[in-house]
Structures are given as C-alpha cells and as structure tokens.
Chains A and B, each alone.
Chain A
Amino acid sequence: MAAPLPGQADAESLERLKALSLQELTATTVSLAVKNQQNLQEAAAAAYVISNEEIRRSGMQSIPELLRKVPGLEVARVDANQWAISSRGFNGAFANKLLVMVDGRTVYDPFNSGVYWNEQDYPLEDVDRIEVIRGPGATMWGSNAVNGVINIVTRTAQESRGALASAGSSQEEPGFGTLRYGGQINPNLHYRVYGKYNHRDDFHFSDGSKAADNLDLGRAGFRSDWTPDARETLTLQGDYFNGTMQQTLTGADAAMPLMSDRTQKQGGNLLLRWQRTLADGSRLQIRSYFDHASRQQIRLDHRRNTFDFDVQHSFRWGNHYPTWGGGYRFNSDQLTQKLALLSFEPDRRDLHLFNMFAQDEWRLFGDDVRLIYGGKLEHNDFTGFELQPTARLLWNLDPQHSLWAAVSRAVRVPSRVEHDLNLLYNFTPGVTANIRGGDSFKSETALSYELGYRFFPNRAFNLDTALFYSDYARLSTTEPQPAIAGGGGLLVPFQIANMAQGETYGWETSLNWRASEFWRLQGSYSLFGMAIHKDPQSLDSAAEIAEGNSPRHRFNLSSYLNLPYRLEFDSHWYYTDRLANGVPAYHRLDLRLGWQANLHLELAAGVQNLLDNRHLEFIPPQDNPVLSSEFERNYYLKATLRF
C-alpha cells in the first residue's frame, strides 16, 4: 500500500482547508451524506426531529414519554412501565406497524412485532436527537416500517466528553440517576462509558388500589468513535441492561382472573459501524450488530439473538443521487413454555432475512424539484419475497414554500406469534378456545398516499403539514372454526388469518415560532380517522377493534421561556381525545423551572400532569392480557453536574 500516512494526509488537507478563500468556502460542498442521515427538514416525507435541547427542557425522564410531542404519534401509558406507541393508528402495547431503531439497530421484536419500550433507555443527555418519520419508510428501512420510523440517535463520543452526573427523584420515580464519563485516547479516538439506574413506583388502578407494576432497571454501556481522518469513522458501541418489571395480567383461565407477574429482563448489544467518503465523493457505510434479549415471565421464557449486517453506498451521478445496498439479518429465538395453556411450535426458530434496495434522488430545475424513487426487495422465511417501492416528489416553490407528495407500499411480515402460537383459553367451564397461528398467515400490506406542505416565511416561524390516506389489506383477524366436542367439553379452534382491510386518513400539522429572543413556542395538531372492514367470510367479532384504540384529535403546545438570572420556565400542554374503546379524553399540563447555576450545574424542578389527580390512557385489547393502571400527578427534582 502506497497510501500516505494518516498524519501527513491530515496536515496536507489542513493546509488546503486553511488556504480556502471565503468564496471557495461558500462553494465547497460537504461530502455526501448516507441517505438516512439527511436533513429531515428537506425530506419528501412527514418528518419531525426532537432535539437534545427539547429533550432537556421537556422534563421527561424516558424515551417513550418524549415522543408525546410528535404530531401524528400516539403515545399512551399502559401502566407504570409499559407504553402503547404507534404512528397513524393500530395502537397497542405491542403496536406492530412502527419501526424503532437506536443508532440504526432495530429494537422491533420479531417475536410479537412490537417494541419493549421499557427496555429502550439511554442517558438522555447523550441522545443527540430523535428522528421520527410518519408514514411508510420501508424502502429505506425495510418491512415493518409501515406507519412510521423512529430513530434514536446518540451523540458521538467526541460530542460527549467530560464527566456528567445527574440524579433526581419524583413520586413516580423515587430514584433515577446517570453517570457518564467521556474521554480521549488520542485526538482521533474518543470514548464514553455510562451507567444508568431507574426505579419506577407502582401506579394505581381506577378504584384507587395500588397496581403491581413497578420497575427496577440498571444499564451500562459505552461508545467509541475513531476518526483517523475526516473522511472515515469507525464506531463501536454497546449496552447491557438488567432488571425486573412487574405487571398485572388477566388470566388465561376464567378461574384465575388476575395474576401478578414479575418479569426478569436482561439484554445487550454490540454495534460496529464504518463510514467512509470515497475519492469520488461517494459514501459507503457498513454496519453490523449483535443483539441479545432474554425475558423470564410467568407465562413464557423468551430468549432471542439477532445478528445483522448491512451495507449502503451513496454517490452522485450528474443530477442523480442514488443510494443502494443490502443486508442480512439472522434471528434465533428460544421460547420455553411455563403454562400448560401456552406454547409455540416449534419452540426454537432460526429466521433469515435478506434485502436489497436502491433509491435515487433525481434533482431537476436547479434542484428545485426532486424526484425520489426506489424499492426494496426483501426475503423472509415466512412469506418469501416482498417488494416495497416508493415514489416521492419534492418541489421547492420558492425559499418560503415547499410541497411534497408520495406514494408507497409497505408490508408487515408475520411475527412469530402469528405463525407459531398455540394458546388455550378457558372461556367458561367446559368451553375452551384454542388460538393458533399458522403458515397460511400472509404479510399485512399498506398502500399510502401522502401530501405535504411546508411554510417558512422567516427563520423565526415555520409550519409543517401533511395529509395522508392509507389503504390496508390482509389485516390480521382471529377466525373461529367449527367447535370440536370431546374430553367432557367443547374446544373452539381459532385460526389467525388475514381477513380484514381498512383505510386510515389524517392531517398532521406542527408549528414552531420563536416569538422573541427569550421565548419559543411549539404546537401541533393531528386529526386521525380509521375504518376497518372484515371480509364477508370473516367471523372475527373483534376485527374492527383497532378503530377504538386511536384518538381522533390530538393537540399539544409547548412554551420555552428564558427568564433573567439564567432561569428557564417551560410549560407543555397535551390534549388527547377519547378512545372509542372507553378511555375518556384527557388534558395533561407539565411545568418545569430550570436554573443554569453556572456552566457546570443545572437544577430543575417541575410537575407533570398538574391539573389531574390521575387518568387512564389506554386499555389494551383482548389479545394483550396486561391490566392498565392510571398515570398520576408527579412532582420532580433533578440536578445535573458536568465537568
């Protein structure tokens, strides 16, 4: 290899950088970004970003709670440590049409197509931003990104140097604390290590009795970034968590209506990412990770290992900015039956997922019009090949207005539950239901049409709106089969099938206004509607249940005020319309007073849900046995020290 030593090349490019004139500086383009790092404000999609500063001033202590302010995203507390989060409908404790990632590592669990939100945590001070894309993102991110994609992006090790200690207490969380240290080994190699502990107390049921739904979770992790020169980055990061959570379950047996379950949770991951800008200005990213999770529950023990490998290449070809790549994911799980009534066949399974994708951004009319089109071809073990194409058009009318439109197809592939479940449920003495998954279950599909408009008359104000209409086919239903008599009772088999369709539509809008140097306002409103129709042959009485799980109207308003003496006064008001399944509408008002004592110390005090003793936010549908509890008024204190 005749390549110059990194040190020499660096000094040389430094000299070149120093010699750039102002004019040259203005004309120089930044090396191409890998597609998924693009500026979301310029995207031809309904995008929203929660910044680190907004995270700090929200007063929230967990990632799921932070998502409340995103227009179009439904966030509901199921109990003290579980959430129901979805984008554009189909909400549930394990909402299955939303893809969630942490630094590109998917945390969507193929077991039930859901996200274990209480395992997703990080020192919030080191979360750079949370990017949310509503609507399909399957062409870039793959199947299951049907209604939205959330990517939690942590800061690089170089951006989180020094020691940080933060600790606090509230009624709901008597103890939470984070320790982080970031340092450098040499000017090109930085690292950070962290530890975090959370204890969440029990909530209460509507009758005032204490729910058994507390959580104790500790986690630790590290991240290191090596940048031998500005064109190359190698990142290695990993996390480990261990803890317990409690929940109250409705029994699978009518004779045992309630049971308390203590789940032991443990998991970890290791991720390696290499990015390089090539000589022609194109960018290459190779990413690989390993993820392990194990949950020991009253009904089932669940262990899962995932290995993922992914390559992406972006380049420029005239007016075209294509990105292409592919990946492979291996998923291996082991389910251990704990109750006679619940089993999976087989109890261990290895799944392979392959994908290839290509997407091009074609810039026309001096970059004012951009046509983005592409598709992803994926192969999974349950349903074979799936094609997920998209076509998007972005039109920058003038510096103050832009319009975009999109048509996309996305699929949600069957989960392990839908394919392999075998559940017995004693309805009444003598009548037993048997719910079974099967090989005949197909992927659910969605065809979505979106239209968006952005208005930014000046830097102090901007408005972002999106309209959407989505058409769903082959939605999941549970079909009763002819009953079988025998053994002194009646057995009613139920088969998980694809016998429903549906439509959703909605309007999402958000605005951001810097009213003065000291005051900033943010607001959002979303309207959502949904209709599910079961096939004429379908006998599932609960096929339309998803209609009842999403609010029609959601509204929120945040105010960030900087006061003299380095005080911050922030208020956040959230309104969620009633759910047709019986959850009443609720308002929530959060207030926070922060004091930046100096550059090192920050103190904050606040209250969440000020106007309400407590309220219910979600009732899980029948397929989830978790009993929901109510979110209470909560006062908190927090101190953060940085050196």
Chain B
Amino acid sequence: MTALIGRRLAPWLLSVIVSAFSAPGSAQQFNETELKAAYLYNFAYFITWPEPTSRDFLFCSYANSPVTGVLARLIDGEKVHDRPIRLLVDPVPEQLHECHIVFVPGQQERVLTTILEYIRAFPILTVSDIPDFEHRGGMVRLTTEDRRIQPVIHLQNVTRAKLAVSSKLLRSSRIAE
C-alpha cells in the first residue's frame, strides 16, 4: 500500500520541484525587510529637522535585523538635500545624539528603554517595528498588516522632539492617538 502511494507521490513531488526551479527569478515583489528599509530611507526626505547640526545626514540602526543590512545598501552613496548619508550601526549612547534617525529593530527590544532614555531630549526620529512602540515613547512604528507595511505615527512624540512631518507622509500613514 505504502509503496503504491510512494509511486503516485513521486512524480507529483518531482513536478513541483522542477516547476519551482524553472520559474523566472525576476520577481517584482519586495519582502518585509526591503520595504521597511525603503520606508526608513524615505523618512530622511519627509521629516524636517530643526537645524542642521552636522554636515552629514546620520542614520543609526541596531544590527541583528536584516533591515539594517538592506538600509546600508540603499543609502550607499546617496545624499539628502546635498548632505551625504552615513549609517552608524550599533551606536554607543554618546554617539546617539548625532543621529537624525534611529531604528530599533524588534530583535533589539531589550535595549529600547535605554535608547529612548538617552535621546529623549534630542531632535531624533525614532523608528521601530516593535509591536507597541508608539505607546512606549516611540515616534514611528512600522507595522505589517494584511501583507502591507504601514507607518503608524505618534504625532505628539514627534512634535515634542521639534520634528515636522510632511503632509505627504502623514497621508500615507496612520496616526496613533
């Protein structure tokens, strides 16, 4: 009996595998990681910081998230308003104050409180994909709902840091109360 099923199953499995390998590899879709990195990259253009303190635009991100890797490749050689973009991975607390955007991935949730504490008084945009980020003092949460990535913006936390969000970004985001 089992041999009979095996004989029936084998060609079917083979056809599945063959069709998988022969499928063209030029898919137009992006995965979660890439879309999150793309949002981060866009935030550099749609947020206004009070006064440029340094010449470079500084992205800060914590590693152990694939997002950090994609972001590094996205901003490579890019500029924001004629300012070269740099990425600082795993900044120590003293370096955090120079960041324009800080991304804390869900994989680094344990240091979230520490990071927010260090940058509370500075005009730094905080972004994360931690589930209740905006309720823990964060500004922009990237959420995955129904196969789409959407930013959830806590406006009060953003304006408290003297940052301004463009209306364009607000329109494609959800506002947290």
Give chain A residues whose Cβ lies under 8 Å from the Cβ of B93: 598-599
Query: Nearest chain B CB to A401's CB is how many angstroms away?
Result: 16
A128–B12 Cα gap in the complex (Å)?
Answer: 34
Question: Is A340 part of the binding interface, using a Cβ–Cβ cutoff of 8 Å?
Answer: no
A379 CB-CB contact with B under 8 Å = yes
Q: How far is the CB of A179 from chain B (nearest CB, A)?
A: 17
Query: Out of A13, A161, A313, A596, which one reaches B30, CB within 8 Å?
Result: A13
Could you tell me if B25 and A30 are in contact, using CB atoms closer than 8 angstroms?
no
B122 contacts the other chain (CB 8 A)? no
Q: A158 — nearest CB in chain B belongs to which residue?
A: B66
A162–B28 CA distance with the chains assembled, in angstroms: 33
The closest CB in chain B to the CB of A229 belongs to: B25
Q: Whose C-beta in chain A lies nearest to the C-beta of B149?
A: A30
B159 within 8 A of A: no
**Smallest Cβ distance from A387 to chain B, in angstroms?**
15
A599 to B108, CA, bound (A): 10
Would you list which residues of chain A between 103 and 134 have a CB under 8 Å from chain B? 128
Whether the Cβ atoms of B90 and A599 lie closer than 8 Å is yes
Residues in B neighbouring A25, C-beta threshold 8 A: 35, 38-39, 42, 149, 172
| B114 contact set on A, CB distance < 8 A | 566, 596, 598-599
Query: Which residues B32-72 have CB closer than 8 A to chain A?
Result: 32-35, 37-39, 41-42, 46, 63-66, 69-70
Q: Once the chains bind, are A599 and B25 in contact (CB under 8 Å)? A: no
Given contacts A17-B30, A22-B168, contact A159 B148 (CB under 8 A): no
| A328 touching B9 in the complex, CB below 8 Å, given contacts A162-B63, A599-B114 | yes
Would you give the shortest CB distance from A43 to chain B, in whole angstroms? 13
B27 close to A281 (CB less than 8 A): yes
Bound CA–CA A42/B46 (angstroms): 31
Nearest CB in chain A: distance from B26 CB, A: 7
Contact: B176 with A28, CB < 8 Å?
A: no
Q: Does A230 contact B (CB under 8 A)?
A: yes
Known: A278-B20, A566-B117, A596-B113. A459 touches B27 (CB 8 A): no
- A40: shortest Cβ distance to chain B, in Å? 12
Given contacts A9-B25, A279-B27, A599-B92, contact A30 B74 (CB under 8 A): no
Given the known inter-chain contacts A29-B29, A158-B64, please indicate yes or no for A460 contacting B132, CB distance below 8 A: yes
CA distance A602 to B37 in the complex (A): 29
Q: B64 contacts which of A13, A17, A160, A277 (Cβ < 8 Å)? A: A160
Which chain A residues lie closer than 8 Å to B37 at the CB level? 17
Q: Are A459 and B146 within 8 A (Cβ)?
A: no
CA–CA, A367 and B172, complex, Å:
20
B31 touches A277 (CB 8 A): yes
Most buried by A among B92, B93, B114: B114
Task: Determine the residue in chain B with the shortest Cβ distance to A231.
Answer: B27
A562 touches B113 (CB 8 A): yes
**A4 contacts B by Cβ under 8 Å:** yes
The digit string for A14-26, where 1 denotes a CB below 8 A from any CB of B, is 1011101011011
Which A residues, 248 to 294, have Cβ-Cβ distances below 8 Å to chain B?
276-281, 284, 286
- From known contacts A17-B34, A326-B13, infer whether A26 and B66 are also in contact, taking CB-CB under 8 Å: no
Cβ distance B14 to chain A, nearest Cβ, rounded Å = 10
Q: Determine if B27 and A278 form an interchain contact, defined as CB atoms under 8 angstroms apart.
A: yes
Interface string of B135-160 (1 = CB under 8 A from A): 11100000011111110100000000
Is A458 part of the binding interface, using a Cβ–Cβ cutoff of 8 Å?
Answer: yes
B96-123 toward A: CB 8 Å interface, digit per residue (1/0)? 0000000000010111011001000000
Q: C-beta contact mask, B2-29 vs A, less than 8 Å → 1, else 0?
A: 1001100100110011001001111111
Q: Cβ of B113 and Cβ of A459 under 8 Å apart? A: no
- The chain B residue sitting closest to A596, CB to CB, is B114
Task: Known contacts A20-B38, A26-B172, A514-B136; decide if A279 and B69 are in contact (CB<8 Å).
Answer: no
Minimal Cβ-Cβ distance residue in B for A282: B23
| B176 nearest in chain A by CB position | A459
Q: Across the interface, which residues of B come within 8 angstroms of A328, CB to CB?
A: 6, 9
Closest Cβ of chain A to B154, distance in Å, is: 10
Interface pairs A-B: 6 shortest CB-CB: A26-B172, A29-B147, A278-B23, A53-B109, A31-B29, A352-B2
Sample 13 A-B pairs with CB under 8 A, ordered by A number. Answer: A14-B74, A18-B41, A25-B35, A29-B147, A29-B148, A30-B30, A53-B109, A159-B64, A230-B34, A279-B25, A311-B13, A460-B135, A517-B135
- Listed in ascending order, the chain A residues whose CB lies under 8 Å from chain B are 3-4, 9, 13-14, 16-18, 20, 22-23, 25-33, 39, 42, 51-53, 56, 128, 155-156, 158-162, 187, 227, 229-231, 276-281, 284, 286, 311, 313, 326, 328, 352, 354, 356, 367, 379, 381, 384, 458-460, 514, 517-518, 520, 562, 566, 568, 596, 598-599, 602
Interface residues of B (CB under 8 A from A): 1-2, 5-6, 9, 12-13, 16-17, 20, 23-35, 37-39, 41-42, 46, 63-66, 69-70, 73-74, 78, 90, 92-93, 107, 109-111, 113-114, 117, 131-132, 134-137, 144-150, 152, 168-169, 172, 176-177
Supplied contacts A160-B107, A458-B177, 15 more A-B pairs, CB within 8 Å: A13-B34, A17-B34, A17-B37, A22-B172, A27-B148, A28-B148, A159-B64, A159-B107, A276-B23, A280-B23, A281-B27, A354-B9, A379-B1, A518-B136, A520-B132
